[in-house]
Amino acid sequence: MDWRQLWEICSAPDNVPIVGLIPMIVTIILMVWSITLSAPLEEPANPNLTMNPAKAPWYFLGLQEMLVYFDPWIAGVVMPTLIIVGLMAIPYIDTNPLGSGYYTWKQRKFSIGSFLFGFIVLWVAMIIIGTFIRGPGWQWFWPGQTWDHNRLIYEVNRDLPDLFGIGSNLGKAILGGIVVVGYYVLGGFIVHALFRRYNPKDYKRMSLLQYSIMQFFLLTMVALPLKMMLRLAWHIKYVWITPWFNV
């Protein structure tokens, strides 16, 4: 008997358990779930009665949660686009030939680490916050805590240029631009320093284009929690203010 026969099994009937039994189990689970729990249905749609909080479907609550920290054009348009494009870029910037077709942490620490950070820490965690913790006025209510619709939180947010006492629009635009560009340059340099030390093989394999795309997506992803930190720790609303857009 040669190895090929061992490696490959006939799909019928050997694989029947997986393609036959699993759907049955899913059907049973779905039936029981649907009998015991009813789909939500609210009052008829009423444009004059705003729901508070008005939440997007749960799978978009990560994006809605980002609205706290970013303007809609970033949280609602640029970020989703970058997530999709970034996901699509993954196979083309991950040049590591190892770890294809099996689970491994040792051989792919960097790529798995980045993905877990993006998927679990950012995406899933923000959905959990948006779903279970945000209440009226998109304020923070712990699970079990009563939703107080009249609760007001006085937060005085500042913009980064205010900290430096810059008043002119031109000055604000220039300072913000410097900070944002500076973040990418300095951050890129730090990532470069770490990456070529800890992933020398990947660094060597990657083309300049692959390397810069990886840097861009990584830094943009990390910018998200950094901006959140700026807000939570120093009440900074915008970093970069221009007449057309704010970051």
Partner 1 sequence: MPEENGNGKNGNGTRVGLLERVKAGVKEDVQSLKTDMPAKAKDQIEGLKDPTKTQLYTSIFRHKHDDTPRNRALGVLSNVFLHLHPAKINRDAVRYSFTWGMGGITFYLFIVLTFTGVLLMFYYHPTKVQAFRDVLYLEHDVPFGKLLRNMHRWAAHLMVIGVWLHMFRVFLTGSYKKPREFNWNIGVLLLVFTLLLSFTGYLLPDDQLGFWAVTVGTNMARATPGLGHEGPFGAQLGMTPYNDVRFGLLGGSIVDANALLRSYIWHCIGIPIVAAILMIVHFWRVRKDGGISGPAPVMLASEVKEKK
At its nearest, how many Å lie between partner 1 and the CB of residue 211? 18
| Distance in Å, CB of 190 to partner 1, minimum | 25
Cβ distance to partner 1 smaller for residue 98 or 125: 98
Closest listed residue to residue 133, CA positions, set 74, 68, 71: 68
The separation between CA 70 and the C-alpha centre of its own chain, rounded to angstroms, equals 13
Sign of CA dihedral 160, 164, 165, 169: negative
Residue 231 Cβ, how far from partner 1 at the closest point, in Å?
19
- Report 59-78 residues binding partner 1 (CB under 8 A): 59-60, 63-64, 71-73, 75-78
Instruction: Tokens for 19, please give them.
Output: 């393609």
Return the number of the residue (60 or 141) whose C-beta is nearest partner 1: 60
Residue 215 in the binding site for partner 1 (CB under 8 A): no
Q: Is 3 in the site for partner 1 (CB under 8 A)?
A: yes
From the list 15-23, 128-136, 153-161, 167-175, the region that binds partner 1 by CB under 8 A is: 15-23
Angstrom distance (rounded) from CA 46 to CA 158: 36
Q: How far apart are CA 210 and CA 93, in angstroms?
A: 5
* CA–CA separation, 126 and 227 (whole Å): 14
Q: 48, 101, 150, 156: which one contacts partner 1 (CB under 8 A)?
A: 101
Amino acid at 72: P
Site string for partner 1, 17-56 (x = CB under 8 A): -xx--xx--xx--xx-xxx-xxxxxxxxxxx-xxx--xxx
For residue 88, which amino acid is it?
Answer: M
